[in-house]
Structure 1
């Protein structure tokens, strides 16, 4: 009798146990690697790039094979959500967004005010993560998403999916992910800097020219509007104030471009707000940076090179500041510095989070260049250095 009661109790308890009837097998899902968003004729156009995680595993294990083939889907709707669901209707399997790595916006989509709306959608969606990077472009989004990395590198390691690896080698325009985008919009000066993509044909494969992605410009967005697209020569000065700056080259005067190549790294930046007696806010900027000589054609002294590097960097910073301030762009985020260091003064002078940016807002700019070494040699050219001896 006891055994029957025990068996009955086990049967009843088993009915309360949860099963895996609603589980999704990983190999039966379609994995979205990136979204593209365009806007045309009053409709939202959404592109999705699909990644094959099976081929990624083969590449990491050394099994070889083609790993960079991309499939791109397209759908449109009156809203972003409608376009997404229309995209679902054409997918063979359930589309999983947990591995979403990037979102590319067309210039028209940004002008239509879609960036903040879609960022809000991606932030709320349960599957997505903050590690997805944002880009802007004028080129065809479909063509950008069909660009395959060099040497059959997996799509998960492409310029779009993993931009930090390239940035650590040449810290020009920093990548921005969903978390950083939200912070930039929420905090003064409420402006975000997004890398601007272009399709380049500077690489060549065995079967002809090969398309690759080039990032030399930045789109500045504020209040869900596109303010400006800053060119390379203006972004040169902005890179030196980026918190994530690792290393990059600095061009000297045009007379010296072919003579000296300089690599700068290990940047230490300090920006201090100074309030004058009349209430005007200005800033003291101190920059300490190390430099290495990468190429040298003529023998030079340490002091002469340090002076010329200092002058080149100073010119870059001032050129960038004066160009951007005229467009009401706080490229050095001086408004945020004042907001954190002297909130009371910031409240008095700010307007919509942005403080007045005038010609003399930068009170002083101190650049301390430490010339660490010149590679394996002294400060003289390798070839021909003994001719005068």
Structure 2
């Protein structure tokens, strides 16, 4: 008889392991954080979202809850103190495992809050490395309360899930916590943070809608803002970005022949060359494909190819000249030399930077392969391509 209760005791011991767990409905989920600095105090904005909106409508999810969110504000002398100020007014325990983005104000960056925040998120046990970083000069709270179009859940907004938008138009690359930590460990590190604005380019049925725009970047170096690169500068910067997928380039701008092409499948190689006088210069080689959606009359494939190469070379050189004046090595020439010839890098570097001069770019060579639009055509776009029409 005494052995009859052994199975019951075993079950009790196993089940008791769940007694101290946190049930999902008893938590609130941090989705985004805003870091500001006012009157000598750290101000934190915490966005809480309703994860019920992720459920499918046919499964009982409420579409109206997909954009439901609240933003709380806490203040303190330190980041941790500001967070605990928020805890005091929270109805439930705040879970940080779903944190998706961080927005800095320019005041917070000027006060040195960037490195402290990165270190805090890197050390905290609940946070993950897929946290995207942004900067704004506008209202952080207003940016957090912007709802995505078409009742898209906030969990898949431009701030929390920017990769899809970037793959369609690779203009401003997103950057997450993992990439930031890597960049900060590189020689002469700088971190490019997307610059966030609020615009009104979309309209609803009843009123204009606020939306978020990323069209420039802020360069963070030595824990402060070094410069903000405008939109026109990023046209050359996108072309050397290793994660580039596709984007549009305008040909024959300002003329009656102006048209756009889509460039994709880009491969870029930068090679350092040591000259006889000891200078280090770089060859840039680029291969890419391009697709033309709208053809102009009396324009051959050779003319398109020549114009595309001209535009791309112009954009690359303009971006280099602008960033060189700002003392920003956007093309990471210092890192390239460090990896290719560390002996020469040690010889010429100063505080991790190599000298960048007007003629540092020795040559730019671009190979272009034009493709058709991808749809069936009765005649080929260019005379040297196969007929894509239907065949018997």
TM-score > 0.5 by shorter chain: yes
Paired position in structure 1 for 2:299? 300
In the alignment, is the contact (CA less than 8 A) between 2:52 and 2:62 conserved in 1? Answer: no
**CA shift for structure 1 position 13:** 11
Paired position in structure 2 for 1:185? 184
In the alignment, is the contact (CA less than 8 A) between 2:236 and 2:315 conserved in 1? Answer: yes
Paired position in structure 2 for 1:100? 99
* Deviation by residue 1:37-81 (Cα, 9 ceiling, x = unmatched): 111111111001111111212459584521112211111111111
Higher relative contact order, structure no. (Cα contacts within 8 Å, ≥ 6 residues apart): 1
**CA shift for structure 1 position 8:** 8.7
Whole-angstrom distance in 2 between the partners of 1:13 and 1:247? 57
**CA shift for structure 1 position 278:** 2.5
Matched length: 378
Paired position in structure 1 for 2:18? 20
Paired position in structure 1 for 2:355? 356
Paired position in structure 2 for 1:214? 213
Structure 2 unpaired stretches of 5+: 384-392
Whole-angstrom distance in 2 between the partners of 1:211 and 1:322? 35
- Distance change in 2, residues 1:204/1:10 (3 Å): closer
In the superposition, the TM-score normalised over structure 2's length comes to 0.91
Paired position in structure 2 for 1:224? 223
Paired position in structure 1 for 2:113? 114
In the alignment, is the contact (CA less than 8 A) between 1:325 and 1:358 conserved in 2? Answer: yes
Paired position in structure 2 for 1:387? none
Whole-angstrom distance in 1 between the partners of 2:46 and 2:287? 43
In the alignment, is the contact (CA less than 8 A) between 1:189 and 1:333 conserved in 2? Answer: no
In the superposition, the TM-score normalised over structure 1's length comes to 0.92
- 363-372 vs 295-304, greater mean Cα deviation: 295-304
1:378 aligns with 2:377: no
Whole-angstrom distance in 2 between the partners of 1:293 and 1:17? 64
Question: Helix, strand or coil for the counterpart of 1:189?
Answer: coil
Whole-angstrom distance in 1 between the partners of 2:162 and 2:176? 10
- Distance change in 2, residues 1:95/1:288 (3 Å): same
Paired position in structure 1 for 2:389? none
* Deviation by residue 1:177-220 (Cα, 9 ceiling, x = unmatched): 00001111110330111100000101111121100000101000
* Deviation by residue 1:78-130 (Cα, 9 ceiling, x = unmatched): 11110011111111000000000000001111111111110000000000000
In the alignment, is the contact (CA less than 8 A) between 1:300 and 1:379 conserved in 2? Answer: no
Paired position in structure 1 for 2:386? none
- 253-262 vs 172-181, greater mean Cα deviation: 253-262
Whole-angstrom distance in 1 between the partners of 2:256 and 2:148? 31
**CA shift for structure 1 position 7:** 5.6
Paired position in structure 1 for 2:28? 30
Paired position in structure 2 for 1:384? none
1:328-343 equivalences in 2 (<5 Å): 328-343=327-342
1:65 to 63, 66, 76: 63
Whole-angstrom distance in 2 between the partners of 1:290 and 1:47? 44
**CA shift for structure 1 position 263:** 0.7
**CA shift for structure 1 position 18:** 5.2
- 201-210 vs 138-147, greater mean Cα deviation: 201-210
Question: Helix, strand or coil for the counterpart of 2:293?
Answer: strand
1:324 aligns with 2:302: no
**CA shift for structure 1 position 9:** 11
1:39 to 32, 37, 40: 37
- 49-58 vs 146-155, greater mean Cα deviation: 49-58
1:53 aligns with 2:56: no
Whole-angstrom distance in 1 between the partners of 2:127 and 2:152? 24
In the alignment, is the contact (CA less than 8 A) between 2:251 and 2:258 conserved in 1? Answer: no
Whole-angstrom distance in 2 between the partners of 1:106 and 1:161? 18
